[in-house]
Structure 1
Amino acid sequence: MTKLKIGFILLSNSQAAIPSTRIVVLNMLPYLHAANFDTHIVFEPDTSTKTPDVSGLATRLKAEGFQIIFFQKVFGDSVLALAQAMRLLGIKTVFSICDFVNPAMCEATDLTIVVTDYLKSLYPPQLQHKVHVVHDGIEQPLLHKSECGTHTGSGLQPINAVLVTSTALQRLPLLASPPRWLRVTIVGNYSPDANKLRRMGENHWRLNRLSSWGEKARYFRFLTNPSIKCEAWGAESVYAAMQQADIGIIPIEVDPVRDPTGEWRLKSENRLTLKMAMGLPVIATPIPSYEPVIDQGVNGFLAQNNGQWLSYLSALRDPALRQSIGQRARQTALARYSMDLQASNLIALLRQLIRASADFDAADVQPEV
């Protein structure tokens, strides 16, 4: 039986894959193999880049018999030219994007895959038929909190909150300083604790980049706050941090002065469902991708202002409430955002794309029995 040959052009190198490459492509490869796809990575950069030079690939891809080329979060003149060349050669193309809108790539490709309904809604009406949603799948569904603390939080035995981010935060958004009964671990783009000299150098560099004395003083207070700990993100350490936490928090500043582009609106639900799947009760700033997931007060909380943040944090000092909301959060995340379900959605879209091609027999896209 003929296999569907699909080639992937990656945002990052597969040997040092960033989360989006891992979630969107690498995690899906076993499912695609099982569904009778012949998968190949046809381009991967040495270091992550959204605008790679892929010139010269078109002839090779045609000669090697690819039916689909999948662009993972890459764009720019070279990528756009390749997508257009694929169309002329009769090769189907897919553009996958998770955190911004690119009508030019959507126009140039046959299918655009986004991670939220909100992102889909931002594309022009004439392109809506090309845009489909495949959510980020839960990567480690078997990992979850093995036990819930029974304490209510105090200075001596604080409740532990975890905040996972892709950046190196220089302040705790919205909350500034946690209440005395709360400790916050920020897992982000920091140097490992063991590399103290490098961590000190980064802190010194960030401090010197701040323009005003007020900003410098605020950053210094952040660094020296005993209730805030910054840890380096790692594929395993992030789960260890969540397992040790009592609650998850996602405070996002929506200040138009600090973020005039409104990029916060485009964030996926991944950071939310990651924590929910671990069985953590989560408090988050309401953004378009979070609002359909959270059933307020049932499987989590959305907090719009500082008063609501403090109110929901205080409510979660109750161990029974933490446990019940955490359990419902995990059920929600696993039911809606499992890798199995997202892979099934992706495979259906790819098969539909090939069925639309007049020169390929629809019978050949059925999985092996």
Structure 2
Amino acid sequence: MTAANLKVGFVLLSHSRNPQPSTRIAVLNMLPALREAGIEAELVFDPEQSSETPDLGHLAQRLINARFDVIYFQKVRGESAERCARALKKAGIATIYGVCDLVDADMAMATNMTLVVSEFLKSLYPPALQPKIHVVHDGIEKPSVVKADVAAHTGSRSKPIRAVLVTSSSLTSLPVLAQPPNWLEVTIVGKYPPRGATAQKLREARWAFLKMSSANERLAYLRFLVNARIKTQMWQAESVYAALQCADIGIIPVEPSAQLVKGTHVPVWKVKSENRLTLKMSVGLPVIATPIPSYEPIIESGVNAFFADTRRDWIRCLEILRDPAVRRSVGAKARTSVVDRFSQTQQARLLVAALRAVSESRGVFAELQPI
């Protein structure tokens, strides 16, 4: 069977009109390339409410009747999804489980193939499942967006260097750093109210404050709120790139936590994809990041980005990047090292290869190569 006559259905985690980042990056961004490759791609489950464990009910029979070749479960799992996958496999329809930040061996067993976003995440699956696990990275969404120039100054209280931190959450503190040095201004782009929504900001701040269990946590939050060198901004698909272009440095500080990935001894914070890193590097920003396994094959510390563990490490790296020439050199090398390797085009090629392999082999999978 060739890609030209493949009929592929996507079971989404979130609605296509208001998608979560994983839905947008793993599926919606890929659809034009799939169709260009001759694949008939259709959204077969587009839920109004996001859920990783939806009730898929009689979906399997509808898909069997519609004669799909492959069904892709985008981060959708649980008993209902497993039953659906097994029913599809029994009817001769190949199945793929696509996931970005967790390990679900049951779903991997129920489907013909599992696609993960990093080699590290792949390594966490049981040895017996390794032949079924393949990597398709998160593709860079706007590779043409590049920082226009590098500020010539070295930062001061009156004219600070600007750092940007992009997150999918609403941080209530600045991880690791806590308080930036007086020559640095940090903008956090995340799940915050829009600019001007003062009443909403106050309500959300009050709710966050009341949820905190310790006096130290509340005190840290108050310091975060009143620090004029820490600004928050609502994440939007367009405005996030504007924030990146306005910044001098990209930062990804991660506070280690004890929560483990289910079924493993690995902390949750270690399984994040490369997306936040490649996003900043592709724009040409010099980046400082907490060492995360998926970042390690990308960063040559001190060359195309920096790794930093402790606050002292962070301050040292930030001081290095006060030099405009260093920011320019590291930023240029950062972009060169990721813009092709993590492009949407390259990841679409891997996805097409996966769809072809799973439809043709149905259980015996060679290591995928870009086509």
TM-score range, shorter chain: over 0.9
Residues 49, 74 of structure 1: 8 Å contact kept: yes
AA partner of residue 59 (structure 1): Q
What's 2:145 paired with?
A: 143
How has the CA–CA distance of structure 1 residues 72 and 352 changed in structure 2, closer, same or farther, with 3 Å as cutoff? same
Q: Map 1:192-231 onto structure 2 (within 5 A).
A: 192-231=194-233
**CA displacement at 1:202 relative to structure 2:** 0.2
Task: Name the SS of the counterpart of 1:348 in structure 2.
Answer: helix
What's 1:246 paired with?
A: 248
User: In 1, Cα distance between the equivalents of 2:260 and 2:246?
Assistant: 32
* 1:269-295 Cα deviation digits (max 9, x unpaired): 100000000100000000101111101
Among residues 263, 273, 282, which one is paired with 2:278 in the alignment? 273
**CA displacement at 1:357 relative to structure 2:** 4.9
Which 5+ residue runs of structure 1 have no aligned equivalent?
359-366
AA partner of residue 89 (structure 1): A
What's 2:135 paired with?
A: 133
What's 1:300 paired with?
A: 305
Q: Map 1:15-164 onto structure 2 (within 5 A).
A: 15-164=17-166
User: In 2, Cα distance between the equivalents of 1:210 and 1:138?
Assistant: 36
Residues 242, 275 of structure 1: 8 Å contact kept: yes
Among residues 342, 346, 355, which one is paired with 1:350 in the alignment? 355
How has the CA–CA distance of structure 1 residues 343 and 257 changed in structure 2, closer, same or farther, with 3 Å as cutoff? closer
Task: Name the SS of the counterpart of 2:339 in structure 1.
Answer: helix
**CA displacement at 1:208 relative to structure 2:** 1.2
* 1:174-195 Cα deviation digits (max 9, x unpaired): 1010000000000111111211
AA partner of residue 206 (structure 2): H
AA partner of residue 295 (structure 2): Y
How has the CA–CA distance of structure 1 residues 357 and 180 changed in structure 2, closer, same or farther, with 3 Å as cutoff? closer
How has the CA–CA distance of structure 1 residues 50 and 257 changed in structure 2, closer, same or farther, with 3 Å as cutoff? closer
* 1:50-103 Cα deviation digits (max 9, x unpaired): 111111011111111100000000101111110010111010000000000000
Among residues 285, 293, 298, which one is paired with 2:290 in the alignment? 285
What's 1:320 paired with?
A: 325
Question: Identity of paired residues, percent?
Answer: 51
TM-score, normalisation: structure 1:
0.95
**CA displacement at 1:212 relative to structure 2:** 2.2
* 1:292-331 Cα deviation digits (max 9, x unpaired): 1101111000012111111000000000100110011011
User: In 2, Cα distance between the equivalents of 1:153 and 1:321?
Assistant: 14
Residues 118, 289 of structure 1: 8 Å contact kept: yes
TM-score, normalisation: structure 2:
0.94
Task: Name the SS of the counterpart of 2:348 in structure 1.
Answer: helix
User: In 2, Cα distance between the equivalents of 1:341 and 1:214?
Assistant: 46
* 1:20-67 Cα deviation digits (max 9, x unpaired): 111100111111111111111000110211111111011111111100
**CA displacement at 1:335 relative to structure 2:** 2.2
**CA displacement at 1:214 relative to structure 2:** 2.1
Task: Name the SS of the counterpart of 2:171 in structure 1.
Answer: coil
Among residues 344, 357, 369, which one is paired with 1:339 in the alignment? 344
**CA displacement at 1:258 relative to structure 2:** 11
**CA displacement at 1:3 relative to structure 2:** 1.6
* 1:229-263 Cα deviation digits (max 9, x unpaired): 01111111111111100000000011438999711
User: In 2, Cα distance between the equivalents of 1:30 and 1:218?
Assistant: 46
User: In 2, Cα distance between the equivalents of 1:132 and 1:254?
Assistant: 27
Task: Name the SS of the counterpart of 2:277 in structure 1.
Answer: helix
User: In 2, Cα distance between the equivalents of 1:261 and 1:295?
Assistant: 24
Structure 1 vs Structure 2 CA RMSD: 1.7
Which 5+ residue runs of structure 2 have no aligned equivalent?
364-370
**CA displacement at 1:355 relative to structure 2:** 2.0
AA partner of residue 317 (structure 1): R
Residues 260, 268 of structure 2: 8 Å contact kept: no
What's 2:366 paired with?
A: none
User: In 1, Cα distance between the equivalents of 2:214 and 2:32?
Assistant: 51
Residues 193, 199 of structure 1: 8 Å contact kept: no
* 1:93-140 Cα deviation digits (max 9, x unpaired): 000000000000000100100000000000001000000000000000
AA partner of residue 24 (structure 2): R
Residues 259, 268 of structure 2: 8 Å contact kept: no
Q: Which moved more, 1:168-177 or 1:258-267?
A: 258-267
* 1:322-352 Cα deviation digits (max 9, x unpaired): 0110011011111210011110111111111
Count residues in correspondence: 359
User: In 2, Cα distance between the equivalents of 1:348 and 1:326?
Assistant: 32
How has the CA–CA distance of structure 1 residues 162 and 89 changed in structure 2, closer, same or farther, with 3 Å as cutoff? same
